[in-house]
């Protein structure tokens, strides 16, 4: 069994970023030797302290599928990257600055990112250290979004929606690194891998679709994305980390029987 999990609004509470509801299940999965791969829109810089505080020793995927890291490797270089760098994204956004109204993390001070996210200023500064994607707040009319998508596509970029922000990134998503990592574990284990994914937002849907089984986690803050006719995806009852723990308890039970 191999788990892929979103962080914000899934493993971490949408507002408080608290994850205590998941502690006992994370411990059980660790004891069972089940890797829990983090698959998040957070930056590598943000994950440094979170990995220490949650004793996370499995691989992790940052910025919505942009890069895969193995924490046990001596360098903090990604194992693989899947898209263009942040400079390319900023150049493209600068090119359309006069056509559309938006405000990105790059445009915001640390205090503004802290206010928009509820992170403390230390973590907000780490969230601003983007390597492969730019989160922004859309301040223009919804009707102009399709022209914006077309302009981003002209730069080889696309747009995904997270819990709070719209994310600009290359032609990859959270499912992109999964194929490689599934193969990696299949080779390690000399067995086919059974995959489970958990996430709460539109930027998680590709990951949920790519897994053998998936749990869509409900959010107190935004509507649950549509999952039309996706038989492998079920909706967890509890919100945020409580839904995560409930889903993982079911997986642990199934593994034991
Ligand atoms: C941003 O990501 C979340 C993911 O759902 C969002 O769009 O609301 C990211 O930029 C991340 O770096 C940051 O930690 C998070 C804080 O809520 O917001
Ligand atoms: Mg999320
Ligand atoms: Mg996320």
Residues 153 and 34 in one domain: no
Atom nearest to 133 CA in ligand 1? 10
Domain boundary among 170, 192, 217: 170
Q: Structurally, how many domains does the chain consist of?
A: 2
* Per-residue tens of pLDDT for the chain, all 257 residues: 999 999 999 999 999 999 999 999 999 999 999 999 999 999 999 999 999 999 999 999 999 999 999 987 656 789 999 999 999 999 999 999 999 999 999 999 999 999 999 999 999 999 999 999 999 999 999 999 999 999 999 999 999 999 999 999 999 999 999 999 999 999 999 999 999 999 999 999 999 999 999 999 999 998 899 888 888 999 999 999 999 999 999 999 999 98
In a shared domain, residues 161 and 179: no
Q: Of 122, 148, 170, which one is at a domain's C-terminal end?
A: 170
Which whole-number Å values give the CA distances from 181 to 55, 78, 186, in the listed order? 21, 13, 8
Whose atoms come closest to the Cα of 162: which ligand? Answer: 1
Q: How far is the CA of 151 from the centre of ligand 2 (A)?
A: 26
193 and 216 inside one domain: yes
Residues 111 and 186 in one domain: no
Among 130, 145, 170, residue at a domain's last position: 170
Task: Kindly give the number of the ligand 1 atom that is closest to the alpha carbon of 201.
Answer: 5
Q: What CATH number has the domain bearing residue 24?
A: 3.40.50.1000
Question: Residue 93's domain is classified under what CATH number?
Answer: 3.30.980.20
Whether residues 74 and 92 fall in one domain: no
Q: Tell the residue nearest (CA) to atom 12 of ligand 1.
A: 42
Are 42 and 159 members of one domain? no
Give the domain extent around 231. 2-81+173-256
């Amino acid at each position: 069994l191999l788990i892929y999990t979103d962080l914000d609004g899934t493993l971490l509470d949408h507002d408080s970023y608290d994850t205590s509801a998941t502690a006992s299940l994370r411990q059980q999965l660790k004891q069972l030797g089940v890797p829990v791969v983090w698959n998040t829109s957070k930056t590598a810089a943000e994950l440094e302290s979170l990995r220490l505080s949650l004793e996370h020793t499995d691989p992790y995927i940052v910025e919505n599928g942009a890069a895969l890291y193995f924490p046990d490797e001596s360098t903090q270089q990604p194992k693989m990257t899947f898209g263009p760098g942040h400079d390319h994204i900023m150049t493209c956004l600068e090119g359309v600055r006069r056509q559309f109204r938006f405000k990105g993390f790059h445009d915001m001070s640390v205090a503004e990112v802290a206010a928009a996210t509820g992170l403390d200023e230390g973590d907000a500064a780490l969230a601003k250290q983007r390597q492969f994607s730019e989160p922004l707040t859309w301040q223009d009319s919804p009707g102009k979004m399709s022209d914006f998508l077309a302009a981003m596509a002209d730069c080889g970029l696309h747009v995904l929606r997270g819990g709070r922000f719209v994310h600009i990134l290359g032609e990859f998503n959270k499912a992109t690194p999964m194929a490689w990592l599934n193969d990696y574990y299949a080779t390690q284990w000399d067995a086919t891998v059974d995959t489970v994914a958990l996430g709460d937002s539109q930027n998680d849907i590709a990951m949920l679709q790519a897994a053998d089984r998936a749990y869509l986690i409900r959010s107190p803050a935004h509507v649950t994305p549509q999952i039309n006719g996706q038989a492998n995806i079920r909706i967890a009852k509890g919100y945020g980390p409580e839904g995560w723990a409930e889903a993982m308890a079911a997986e642990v039970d199934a593994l034991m029987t």
